[in-house]
């Protein structure tokens, strides 16, 4: 389950290759014990994930508004919620916005992460520890806290960013409000999310780079390869699986960014920072139209599944050896 | 040779600039939190919090119900960590130590479930818990967190258990150890790193969550710390000193904990990178 805060996974969930089960308990009659051991887990998952997912589908076909909330008896409206969604001009712009948002966040995170990973490999051990500690302190901060700190950094009158930009002479930023212009609001959110997402990516990629045998680079240097060629011929091929993994995880996490947007802009100004998740939330909980919100949520599940389908298939194929 | 020295100096400069940039928000949080009350709202910011002052912390802790929010956060997080670990150890034992019909389906299910965007389930969870009368209950929130942590926890623990030879346990059982003893004395000690990784994940999921607690806990006395911080701005304006001090208090346990396990964390990622 990729929750909003899933950025803190410490171990990437890659299936290990050596996972073929041994001939466990061979020669015994099938026992009920494994099922008994699984009961609590399956029960909780059925309650918290399985049932809600089915119910989400059901609600998306219901007129579930304030009245239904009180009576508890929503009426079925068939595909009306989807029809309404399909005809809503905000649909296309929200989808595009979500894709641009997730794409630019993931791209920025990967590029900066890759650069930092290379920097870590190039500097001495003491400087590397300093970089690691800076990364970890950004990573460890709960995102509600970092969002509030961001609010304070970019506060119009007393924020240090406006003061700094003015003092350095970039322009007059006194009393400048960052959240009234769509592009600037987006940029501030982008900075916040990338700041917190880079550590995981940089540390994972650095771990990958540090595993590449030095001999490869020495041999390439002997053959007269320049830095760019070494990057292309050695680093990228060796990092490919890890790059793919952190790339997909970044897309999933950035697609699901919620707290940062909700607390900084609430989706505004206008609907300039309303991604599909924010939109679903607004329709359901602010406008009290749970049916419409559920239809949007279903659309977001399908969109994410399409985007990550390749990766899921790959994982399942790797699971042949489960 | 000179070329090499310049290169090194340039790299170090870039590294220092990066550290400064990345640490700045954390530094600014600490700096703001320790400033005297009057130094917060100045148009020319002060870069050092001298004279050190605890005014802002006092103002944050002194907010009505602060103790309740802290207690709610602690309870929900503690229960979520312990319960999800217990359930995940049982499930991981089942999928690594037994062969049974449906085993593969369970594993694939656990993988796929991780791809569902969590916020999408807010609406049905809210409505279901509402009709069960379980809104505003810590039990409902705990259960939600346990459910979100489980797939990852089972998957991680499974990865650790697969690597432990079954023969070890079989030998102990031949020697007359009961199954419970085998689990307690052999399996659990060997999967300690997995248990630590899983607890960290569970802790952070529950401690940091904002949106679920925000929707499921409408009663103010049931807020957790992040929900409280999210509603800090009032109509009378924002007490930035208190807000930032509150954020610092809320972040401190996690940041300190990450710093302590820093080496282990990076080592674990290296192991993961090799596997990937």
- Taking CA atoms, A207 is separated from A118, A160, A266, B73, B267, in Å, by 10, 35, 37, 34, 8
CB atoms within 10 A of CB B4: 8
Q: What is the pLDDT of residue B111?
A: 82
Least Cα separation, residue B117 to chain A (angstroms): 6
Q: Specify the residue for token string 């930009």.
A: A165
Confidence band for B236, pLDDT divided at 50, 70 and 90: low
Compute the mean pLDDT over every residue in chain B, rounded to the nearest whole number.
88
CATH code for B65-231? Answer: 1.10.3720.10
- Taking CA atoms, A27 is separated from A30, A31, A249, A280, B61, in Å, by 9, 11, 41, 53, 63
List of chain B residues whose C-beta atoms are within 8 Å of the C-beta of residue A9: 152, 201
Q: Which one of A9, A38, A301 has the shortest CB-CB distance to B201?
A: A9
Q: Which one of A13, A31, A290 has the shortest CB-CB distance to B114?
A: A13
List of chain B residues whose C-beta atoms are within 8 Å of the C-beta of residue A114: none
List the one residue out of A166, A161, A153, A164 whose CA is nearest residue A264.
A153
Q: How far is CA A24 from the centre of its chain?
A: 38
Spatial separation of the C-alpha atoms in residues B147 and B118, rounded to whole Å: 11
Domain boundaries, chain A: 54-87+277-316, 93-146+180-258
Cis peptide before B65 (omega within 30 of 0): no
Q: What is the pLDDT of residue B114?
A: 81
Q: Across-strand partners of B234?
A: B237
Lowest mean pLDDT among A27-36, A282-291, B158-167, B184-193: A27-36
Q: What is the pLDDT of residue B183?
A: 78
Q: Which one of A44, A138, A153 has the shortest CB-CB distance to B146?
A: A44
Least Cα separation, residue B74 to chain A (angstroms): 15
Q: What is the pLDDT of residue A312?
A: 72
What tens-digit pLDDT sequence spans chain A (322 residues)?
444 444 444 444 444 444 445 444 444 556 888 999 999 999 999 999 999 999 999 999 998 888 888 887 888 898 999 999 999 999 999 999 999 999 999 999 999 999 999 999 999 999 999 999 999 999 999 999 999 999 999 999 889 999 999 999 888 888 899 999 999 999 999 999 999 999 999 999 998 898 888 888 888 888 888 888 888 888 888 888 888 888 888 998 899 999 999 999 999 898 999 999 999 999 999 999 999 999 999 999 999 888 888 777 776 676 555 5
A123 touches B at CB < 8 Å: yes
Q: What is the pLDDT of residue B135?
A: 92
Backbone angles phi, psi at A58, to 5 degrees: -65, -45
- Ranked by mean pLDDT, which of A139-148, B101-110, B194-203, B260-269 comes out on top? A139-148
* The domain made up of A93-146+180-258 is a member of CATH 3.40.50.970: no
Domain boundaries, chain B: 2-57, 65-231
Average pLDDT over every residue of B61-77: 93
């Amino acid at each position: 389950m990729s929750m909003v805060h899933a950025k803190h996974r410490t171990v990437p969930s890659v299936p290990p290759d050596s996972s073929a089960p041994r001939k466990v308990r061979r020669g015994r009659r099938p026992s009920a014990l494994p099922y008994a051991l699984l009961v609590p887990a399956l029960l909780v998952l059925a309650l918290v994930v399985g049932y809600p997912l089915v119910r989400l589908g059901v609600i998306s076909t219901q007129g579930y508004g304030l009245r239904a909330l009180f009576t508890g008896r929503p009426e079925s409206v068939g595909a009306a919620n989807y029809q309404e969604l399909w005809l809503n001009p905000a649909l296309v712009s929200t989808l595009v916005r979500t894709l641009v948002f997730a794409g630019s966040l993931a791209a920025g995170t990967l590029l900066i992460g890759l650069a930092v990973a290379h920097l870590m490999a190039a500097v001495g051990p003491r400087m590397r520890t300093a970089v690691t500690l800076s990364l970890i302190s950004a990573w460890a901060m709960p995102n509600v806290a970092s969002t509030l700190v961001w609010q304070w950094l970019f506060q119009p009158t007393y924020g240090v960013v406006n003061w700094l930009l003015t003092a350095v002479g970039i322009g007059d930023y006194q009393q400048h409000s960052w959240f009234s212009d769509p592009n600037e609001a987006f940029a501030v959110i982008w900075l916040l999310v990338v700041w917190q997402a880079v550590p995981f990516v940089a540390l994972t990629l650095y771990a990958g780079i540090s595993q590449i045998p030095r001999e490869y680079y020495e041999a390439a240097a002997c053959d007269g390869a320049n830095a760019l060629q070494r990057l292309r011929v050695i680093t990228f091929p060796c990092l490919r699986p890890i790059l793919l993994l952190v790339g997909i995880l970044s897309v999933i996490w950035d697609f699901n960014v919620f707290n940062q947007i909700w607390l900084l802009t609430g989706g505004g100004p206008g609907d300039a920072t309303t991604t599909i998740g924010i939109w679903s939330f607004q329709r359901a909980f602010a406008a009290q139209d749970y049916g419409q919100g559920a239809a949007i949520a279903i659309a977001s599940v399908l969109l994410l599944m399409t985007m990550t389908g390749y990766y899921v298939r790959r994982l399942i194929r790797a699971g042949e050896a489960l | 040779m000179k070329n090499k020295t310049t290169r090194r100096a340039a790299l170090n400069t870039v590294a220092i600039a990066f550290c400064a940039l990345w640490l700045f928000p954390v530094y600014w949080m600490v700096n703001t939190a320790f400033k005297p009350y009057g130094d917060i709202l100045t148009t020319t910011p002060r870069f050092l919090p001298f004279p050190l002052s605890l005014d802002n912390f006092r103002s944050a802790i002194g907010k009505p119900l602060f103790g309740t929010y802290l207690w709610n956060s602690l309870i929900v997080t503690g229960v979520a960590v312990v319960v999800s670990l217990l359930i995940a150890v049982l499930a991981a034992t089942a999928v690594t130590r037994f062969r049974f019909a449906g085993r593969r389906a369970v594993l694939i299910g656990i993988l796929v479930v991780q791809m569902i965007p969590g916020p999408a389930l807010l609406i049905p969870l809210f409505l279901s818990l509402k009709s069960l009368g379980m809104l505003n209950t810590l039990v409902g929130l705990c259960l939600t967190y346990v459910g979100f942590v489980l797939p990852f926890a089972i998957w991680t623990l499974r990865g650790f258990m697969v690597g432990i030879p079954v023969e070890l346990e079989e030998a102990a059982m031949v020697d007359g150890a009961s199954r419970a003893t085998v689990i307690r004395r052999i399996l659990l000690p060997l999967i300690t790193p997995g248990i630590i990784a899983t607890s960290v994940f569970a802790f952070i999921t529950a401690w940091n969550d904002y949106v679920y607690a925000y929707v499921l806990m409408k009663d103010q006395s049931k807020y957790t710390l992040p929900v409280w911080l999210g509603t800090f701005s009032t109509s009378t304006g924002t007490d930035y000193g208190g807000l930032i001090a509150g954020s610092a208090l809320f972040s401190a346990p996690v940041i300190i904990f990450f710093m302590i396990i820093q080496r282990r964390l990076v080592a674990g990622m290296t192991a993961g990178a090799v596997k990937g």
